[in-house]
Amino acid sequence: MADTSRRALRLLSLLPARPQWSLGELATRLGAGERTVRRDIETLRQLDFPIVTVHGPGGGYRLGAGHTLPPLLFDEDQALAVAVALQTAPSTVFGLGDDAARALDALTQVMPARLRASMEALRLTRLRNYWEFPAPPIDPAALKTVGAAVRHRHPLTIEILRADGSRAEPGDGDFTPAVRVEPHHLVVWAGRWYLVARHLADEAWRVHRVDRIHARVSSRTPFAASDVPGGDVAAFVMTSHDRGDTPATWQCTGSARLNLPAGTVARWAPGGSVVEHLDAHHCRLTLGAWSWAGIAGILATFDTGLTEVRPAELVDACHRLAHRFSAVTESPEPARTSEPG
C-alpha cells in the first residue's frame, strides 16, 4: 500500500509537467509496468483527479482542467527548484521579497522531513562581489502586462522611459512618441528582463528593457506568431547592441572604440554596459566597474584594438596594466625543483 501511495503521488507530480504523457513514458518514469500505471490512474480518477485519456496513435494521458495540485505533491527535484526560484526571484522583481519568503516557509512546512531537510540546505545567502553588474528589480505590474500580452499575443503600445523610470513629455529632448508593437518573447538575461517585439510601423524587430518602457494593451485581437531574425531568440537578444540599456551605477565609468562589430561586443559585454554601433567593423563600448583598472581589464578581454579611450583616468589605467603585463613577460622563469622519485 505504501508503494502504491508513493507511486500515485509521483504520478500526480509528473502529469502537470507536460501537456501529455504516453503510457510507456509514465511507466518508465515510475519504474512500474504499464498495467500498474493504468490501475494507479483509475485510482486517482476515483479520487476525482481529472485525468483525461487521449486516444489515437499519439495518445496517452493528461491532467484535465479545474484541479490545483497542492505543494506537497511536488517531487524532490521540483521542490528544490521552487526553493531556489523563490530565493532568487526577489533580486530581479521588485517587491517580491516578503511574499517569496512566506511562500518558501509555507512550502517547507507541508513537505515531508526528508524534502524539508534538502530545502533547508538550499537556504541561500546572497553575497555581492565587486564584479557583479546589478540591475534594479522590475515592477511586477509591468511584468504582468508584458507577460500576458506575450502569452495571449495581444499588440502593445509602448513608450520609452528615461533611465530613472520617469516618462518624458512632448518637447523634452529625450521624448520619443509611443509605438505599437507585437510582443513575441519575454527574455531574462544578465539579471534583466527584455521584450522582443516587432514594430508595426516599419516591421523591424527590436529588443526593449521591460523596466524602461511603459506598456498598455492596444488590441485584444491576437496577432499571428512570427520568427525572430535568425530563428534563435537568445542569439537575437545577446547580439542586439541596442537593448535600451544604460550604464549601471559604478564608482568608475569609461568608454572606448573597439575594432569589432557591435553585435559581437554586445554578446560578451557585461550587463549594464552600452554598445553603440559605429559601422560594420567598429563600435563604442561604455561600461563601469569598481576601479579604472577593472574597466581596463574588461576591455582587454575583447582582444582587439582600442582607440578613443575616455576619460584620462582610464587611459592611465590601461598604461599601468600594460606595464604590469610587460613586467610579467620579462620576468625570468623560476627554477624548477625535481619531483621526489
Of 87, 121, 155, the residue that ends a domain is: 121
pLDDT of residue 71: 43
64 plus 91 within the same structural domain: no
When mean pLDDT is compared across 83-97, 124-138, 191-205, the lowest value belongs to 124-138
Cell of 317: 589605467
For residue 251, pLDDT beyond 60: yes
pLDDT of residue 112: 66
- What does 138-200 look like in DSSP terms, one character per residue? BPHHHHHHHHHHHHHT--EEEEEBPTTSPBPPTTSTT----EEEEEEEEEEETTEEEEEEEET
174 in any annotated domain: yes
322 plus 273 within the same structural domain: yes
Task: Name, in order, each residue with C-beta under 8 angstroms of 261's C-beta and a sequence gap of 6 or more.
Answer: 280, 281, 282, 283
The percent of residues in the chain predicted with pLDDT above 90, rounded, is 45
258 plus 309 within the same structural domain: yes
For residue 296, pLDDT beyond 80: yes
Of 239, 272, 288, the residue that ends a domain is: 239
Query: pLDDT by residue (tens digit) across 153-188?
Result: 999 999 999 888 888 898 888 888 999 999 999 988
213 plus 151 within the same structural domain: yes
Across 18-22, 86-90, 102-106, 158-162, the highest mean pLDDT is recorded for: 158-162
274 in any annotated domain: yes
Of 121, 154, 188, the residue that ends a domain is: 121
Contact 60, 22 (CB under 8 A): yes
62 in any annotated domain: yes
- Mean pLDDT, all residues of the chain: 84
Question: Count of domains in the chain?
Answer: 4
Average pLDDT over residues 243-263: 90
256 in any annotated domain: yes
Query: Which residues span the domain enclosing 177?
Result: 140-239
Quick one: which of 224, 220, 183, 176 has its CA closest to 205? 183
> CA–CA separation, 118 vs 241, rounded Å?
41
229 plus 311 within the same structural domain: no
Cell of 17: 509537467
Cell of 8: 500515485
291 in any annotated domain: yes
> CA–CA separation, 320 vs 318, rounded Å?
5
Average pLDDT over residues 226-242: 93
169 plus 257 within the same structural domain: no
69 pLDDT band (50/70/90 cuts)?
Answer: very low
Angle at 196 between CA 194 and CA 200, to 5 degrees: 135
What is the domain-level CATH number for residue 211? 2.30.30
305 pLDDT band (50/70/90 cuts)?
Answer: very high
Other beta carbons less than 10 A from residue 317's beta carbon: 22
338 in any annotated domain: no
205 plus 277 within the same structural domain: no
Average pLDDT over residues 290-313: 96
For residue 192, pLDDT beyond 90: no
134 in any annotated domain: no
pLDDT of residue 341: 46
Q: Helix, strand, or coil here: 109?
A: helix
- What does 308-335 look like in DSSP terms, one character per residue? EEESHHHHHHHHHHHHHHHHHHHSPPPP
CB-count burial class (<10 Å; 0-12, 13-18, 19+) for 46:
exposed
> CA–CA separation, 88 vs 123, rounded Å?
10
Is the whole-model pTM more than 0.85?
Answer: no
> CA–CA separation, 68 vs 7, rounded Å?
19
